[in-house]
A and B are shown apart, each in its own frame.
Chain A
Amino acid sequence: MSTPTNASLATIPIHAVGEKSSAFEYLTTKKDELLGWARKFSIFPYPFVTACCAMEFMAVSSSPYDTDRFGAALPRFSPRQADLLMVVGTISHKQATVLKTVYDQMCEPKWVMAFGACATSGGFYQNYAAVAGVDRIVPVDIYIPGCPPRPEMVIDGIMQLQDLIARSRHPIVNKDF
């Protein structure tokens, strides 16, 4: 029985049987790993952009830094089609109702990124108008500090979010279904 020459390069366990040993007949993996692997490379962001961090968001999503490499290139301007809520900029109390509505409209699974100092903690706006951190309103998965953050920090944040997604449980059947 001949051994496939590229078997040592495979990262997913391959069980080859019989004469068709060089083909991918079937794979074994775990459900959470498979769904996590699929989901971490298809993060459709919803950019909730309110302030000057938008400039950095444009920089990081265009070709020099290219978030398309992480599958996070295609902004969906409908929350129904989005997986990642990117809160980019200062959120005032008046705007918080809108942010909460958008978050509630997103379908599971969904993640939230606080982009920049204002979304993370309110930044230097500690006053009557600004929400001191969007985690007071919606649960936040990844925080990116900086005023504004460097594109490298945003990319690092996306990669950490991918790790988080890959490590997470991905229930297919939950209490609602």
Chain B
Amino acid sequence: MAAGILDRVSEALAPTAISAAIAHGILVLTLAPEALTPVVGRLQSEFGFDLFLDVTAIDWLPQTPRFEVVWHFYSTEHHVRIRIKARVAESDAVVDSLRPRYGSAGIMERECHEMYGIVFRGNDDLRPMLLYEGFVGHPLRKDYPKDREQPLVPYIK
């Protein structure tokens, strides 16, 4: 049954994707950033992917486009997962927010924004969550110096 739903999703959405493949039992769709909202809309409404699991990013520093944003969804009806990837450039690291469709996306988009600097268009609450106001830069980017500290309390020596 799990294979059946993934085959149907793959068949329906492969034409809009750059690539579609099965990896470790998960359907992986690589999209252009503009295709995200329509594809996710169909996943949610037609194929029952009702649970937003995660959004994060990967920094492929020497490559262009530099960032790859990765989403995971789960279907509580079919018990399968799906992974969506989209590449964005450093100069235009913007993708659509999925908060209008999945309420839980807001928090994870905030974390992805502060750690990687990805801007989620449509999410108006991208305040720092794990970091703090005044933190300069995005610490999980590969070009953030690994020992750079931004202390809030002045050191005593």
Contact = CB atoms under 8 A, between A and B. Distances in A.
A96 B149 contact: no
B152 A94 contact: yes
Interface residues on A, range: 10 to 19
Given A136-B155, A136-B156, A137-B153, A93 B132 contact: yes
Contact of B147 (A94, A99, A127, A137): A127
Interface string A135-171: 1111100000000000000000000000000000000
A129 B152 contact: no
A128 B148 contact: yes
Given A93-B132, A94-B131, A136-B157, A131 B146 contact: no
Contacts of A138: 156
Interface string A31-65: 00000000000000000000000000000000000
Interface in A70-103: 93-94, 96-97, 99-100
Interface of A: 93-94, 96-97, 99-100, 126-129, 131-132, 135-139
B15 interface: no
Contacts, number: 43
Interface SS of B by simple majority = loop
A127 B146 contact: yes
A86 to B, nearest CB: 19
A122 B150 CA distance: 15
Nearest to A91: B153
B133 to A, nearest CB: 10
Given A136-B156, A137-B156, A139-B156, A93 B151 contact: yes
Nearest to B151: A93
A128 B155 contact: no
A46 B50 CA distance: 46
B139 interface: yes
Q: Which 4 A-B pairs have the closest CB atoms?
A: A128-B139, A136-B155, A96-B153, A100-B153
A126 B156 contact: no
A131 B147 CA distance: 11
Contacts of B147: 126-127
Contacts of B156: 135-139
